[in-house]
């Protein structure tokens, strides 16, 4: 009986890799993104002030990795319990700690953002999933309903083969021909439009599933752009030779990295997925609750639509990386069959499992046949449905396409004999003689070899630069540190020194002047009544003389805001509260 995991089916027949065989560890797009670098975010977080933490949460949940104009960020963060000057000081602290990057727009406005590579770590420390919550989301038993199908890398392999068969030849407008686009769309299958950031220049010309294949091909370097697209055989060979689990995890990381770049909601969904353990069933409503807590601010506000969240879960299940399930009580569940990072070294890899060549021209490839063996098959044969044993058939049509690629009868005959470990059946020999008469040419793409012509032709071609908001942001001029010193602000205003000294009682008119100054400077005040003290943030003062009223809110435990209206009879001892100072007693 086959396993639930696509890569464990037919595992008993998988040859074991020898200890002397090298393990190739190529650099993949996305592998240097959210899962690389020093894990210093938790240390930085522990040193941040409460207001800096709230500003960072607001940036993550409202904007994700997209740059936020400083004024708009502070306006969004003002929905919390802090005054304007405190928020400015908190943002200054974030920049000083290296938690955010600040850039100057060309018109002089400041913008701030976290990098796409650090977002997942920041989301984990800013909105942690505590053990009690994870335990509440865990489900000990569930029945798999769907998912766990063919791996996405197999669909990607087929799409690359379609590109190879087409050249790829471009139109005069620099795009693929319509027939190639249709073939790619059929090969690629799943469309990720609801949750992934694709390059806009590709998305304008191609369907989402095709744009994804091209975006990955360009960003991985396998396909080289220019007036005529070309192949980098070295990078293609590196990808084909990767161990199966390493290849899947690399694709998984790339997908999560692009989801992070899509929107704050998609980034939150990616952060939740990255925190899940393999082979553990989780309650979907509980996971969605965590996702919503990371995509709105403050916590508890209603979330937006969950198109990105649902789209990402469905994509992972369709890729063979996850499964949907259901408990006996009918609750929807979800589990990962593999994670993006994995646990330790992946010892599982494809072996040189021989192909089964049938007398009628059918070729059977097992679940653990290496991609290096599957690549030539994708080019020269018609593939059936991907199963534990996948059928390929040599046909007159497929062999004529092979001839167009420069694959000669001798090259194909030599490869088939070596891959199957047996002599070619007479019927196959006759088919080759009929469809590839006298063609003894050799295709470097079929053999995954770099030709001198390709290597020379690649010089001068532009590097692939996806139109990504974080790249645009990084190209801006760094903004100088905007250090906020509340004491200097107050000194510049030349306020009475007594207003910041020990709290005291004032006449109603003087109290109104103090509150009006607090509103103008966006700072809170301390209110003292006997032994108790509270922080009040005035937003506006109405009325004249002794008949004024100050509208604002009390701050409770540095978390909640309690709306209130302050009138002269309610004010005892008072002073301006300098951000960073503890309230006086």
Whether residues 251 and 391 share a domain: the answer is: no
Q: Is residue 227 part of a domain?
A: yes
The whole-number pLDDT of residue 34 equals: 35
Whether residues 279 and 364 share a domain: the answer is: no
Domain final residue, candidates 298, 320, 349 = 349
Q: Read off the pLDDT of residues 202-225 as tens digits, 9 standing for 90 and up.
A: 888 888 889 999 999 999 999 988
Domain final residue, candidates 349, 370, 389 = 349
Secondary structure (DSSP) of 438-464: T-----TTTTT---HHHHHHTTTPPPP
Q: Is residue 517 part of a domain?
A: yes
Could you tell me which of 251, 265, 246 has the C-alpha nearest to residue 315? Answer: 251
Could you tell me which of 161, 153, 158, 213 has the C-alpha nearest to residue 407? Answer: 161
| Dihedral over alpha carbons 84, 85, 89, 91 (to 10 degrees) | 20
Q: Is residue 71 part of a domain?
A: no
Integer Cα distance of 340 and 316 in angstroms: 11
Residue 463: CB atoms within 10 A of its CB come to: 8
The whole-number pLDDT of residue 39 equals: 42
Looking at the structure of the chain, the number of domains it has is: 3
- Contact 380/398 with Cβ under 8 angstroms? yes
Whether residues 342 and 380 share a domain: the answer is: no
Residue 245: CB atoms within 10 A of its CB come to: 17
Whole-angstrom Cα Rg for the chain: 31
**Please, which residues have CB within 8 angstroms of residue 504's CB and are 6 or more apart in sequence?**
498, 573, 574, 575
Q: Is residue 157 part of a domain?
A: yes
Domain final residue, candidates 334, 349, 364 = 349
Q: Is residue 301 part of a domain?
A: yes
The whole-number pLDDT of residue 344 equals: 45
Whether residues 289 and 409 share a domain: the answer is: no
Q: Is residue 584 part of a domain?
A: no
Whether residues 324 and 178 share a domain: the answer is: yes
The whole-number pLDDT of residue 157 equals: 92
Q: Read off the pLDDT of residues 105-160 as tens digits, 9 standing for 90 and up.
A: 877 788 999 988 899 999 989 988 877 777 778 787 777 777 667 888 988 999 99
Whether residues 436 and 533 share a domain: the answer is: no
3-class secondary structure, 172: coil
Whether residues 341 and 368 share a domain: the answer is: no
Residue with tokens 């509340």: 486
- Contact 356/425 with Cβ under 8 angstroms? no
- Contact 161/375 with Cβ under 8 angstroms? yes
Low-confidence residues in the chain, pLDDT < 50: 1-2, 10-37, 39, 297-305, 344-345, 347, 452-466, 582-585
Whether residues 171 and 206 share a domain: the answer is: yes
Residue 505: give the domain boundaries: 494-576
Whether residues 345 and 439 share a domain: the answer is: no
The whole-number pLDDT of residue 581 equals: 53
Q: Is residue 146 part of a domain?
A: yes
Q: Is residue 117 part of a domain?
A: no
User: CB burial class (10 A; 0-12, 13-18, 19+) of residue 266?
Assistant: buried
Whether residues 365 and 342 share a domain: the answer is: no
The whole-number pLDDT of residue 519 equals: 93
Integer Cα distance of 119 and 257 in angstroms: 9
E strands within 2-96? 68-69
Whether residues 327 and 389 share a domain: the answer is: no
Whether residues 151 and 288 share a domain: the answer is: yes
The whole-number pLDDT of residue 290 equals: 85
């Amino acid at each position: 009986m086959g396993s639930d995991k696509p890569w464990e089916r037919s595992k008993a027949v998988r040859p074991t890799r020898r200890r002397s065989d090298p393990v190739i560890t190529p650099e993949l797009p996305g592998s240097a993104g959210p899962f690389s670098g020093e894990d210093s975010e938790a240390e930085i977080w522990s040193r941040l002030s409460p207001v800096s933490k709230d500003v960072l949460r607001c940036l993550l949940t409202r904007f994700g990795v997209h740059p936020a104009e400083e004024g708009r960020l502070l306006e969004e963060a003002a929905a919390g319990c802090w005054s304007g000057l405190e928020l400015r000081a908190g943002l200054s602290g974030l920049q000083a700690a290296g938690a955010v990057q600040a850039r100057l727009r060309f018109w002089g406005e400041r913008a701030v953002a976290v990098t796409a590579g650090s977002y997942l770590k920041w989301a984990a420390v800013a909105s942690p999933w505590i053990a009690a919550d994870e335990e509440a989301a865990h489900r000990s038993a569930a029945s798999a309903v769907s998912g766990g199908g063919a791996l996405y890398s197999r669909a990607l392999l087929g799409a690359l083969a379609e590109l190879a068969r087409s050249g790829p030849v471009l139109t005069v407008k620099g795009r693929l021909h319509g027939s190639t686009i249709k073939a790619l769309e059929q090969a690629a299958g799943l469309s990720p439009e609801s949750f992934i950031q694709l390059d806009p220049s590709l998305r304008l010309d191609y369907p989402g599933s095709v744009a994804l294949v091209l975006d990955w091909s360009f960003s991985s370097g396998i396909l080289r752009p220019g007036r005529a697209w070309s192949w980098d055989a070295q990078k293609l060979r590196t990808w084909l030779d990767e161990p199966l689990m390493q290849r899947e995890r690399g694709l998984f990381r790339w997908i999560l990295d692009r989801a992070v770049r899509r929107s704050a909601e998609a980034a939150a969904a990616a952060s939740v997925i990255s925190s899940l353990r393999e082979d553990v069933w989780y309650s979907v409503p509980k996971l969605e609750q965590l996702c919503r807590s990371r995509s709105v601010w403050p916590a508890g506000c209603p979330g937006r639509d969950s198109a990105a969240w649902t789209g990402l879960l469905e994509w992972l299940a369709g890729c063979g990386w996850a499964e949907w399930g259901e408990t006996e009580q009918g609750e929807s569940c979800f589990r990962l069959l593999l994670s993006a990072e994995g646990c330790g070294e992946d010892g599982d890899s494809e072996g040189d499992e021989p192909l089964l060549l049938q007398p009628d021209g059918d070729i059977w490839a097992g679940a653990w046949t290496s991609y290096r063996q599957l690549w030539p098959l994708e080019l020269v044969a018609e593939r059936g449905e991907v199963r534990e044993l996948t059928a390929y058939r040599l046909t007159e049509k497929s062999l004529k396409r092979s001839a167009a690629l420069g694959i000669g009868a001798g090259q194909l005959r030599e490869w088939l004999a070596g891959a199957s470990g047996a002599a070619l059946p007479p019927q196959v020999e006759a088919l080759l003689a009929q469809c590839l008469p006298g063609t003894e040419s050799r295709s470097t793409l079929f053999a995954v070899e770099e030709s001198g012509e390709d290597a020379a032709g690649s010089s001068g071609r532009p590097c692939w630069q996806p139109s990504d908001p974080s790249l645009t942001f990084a190209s801006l001029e760094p903004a100088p540190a905007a250090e906020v010193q509340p004491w200097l602000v107050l000194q510049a205003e030349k306020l009475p020194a007594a207003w910041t000294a020990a709290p005291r009682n004032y006449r109603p008119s003087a109290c109104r002047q103090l509150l009006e100054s607090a509103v103008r400077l966006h700072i809170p005040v301390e209110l003292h009544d006997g032994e108790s003290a509270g922080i009040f943030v005035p937003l506006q003062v109405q009325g004249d003389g002794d008949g004024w009223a100050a509208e604002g809110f009390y701050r409770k435990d540095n978390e909640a805001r309690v709306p209130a209206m302050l009138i002269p009879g309610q004010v005892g001892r008072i002073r301006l509260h300098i951000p960073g100072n503890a309230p006086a007693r």
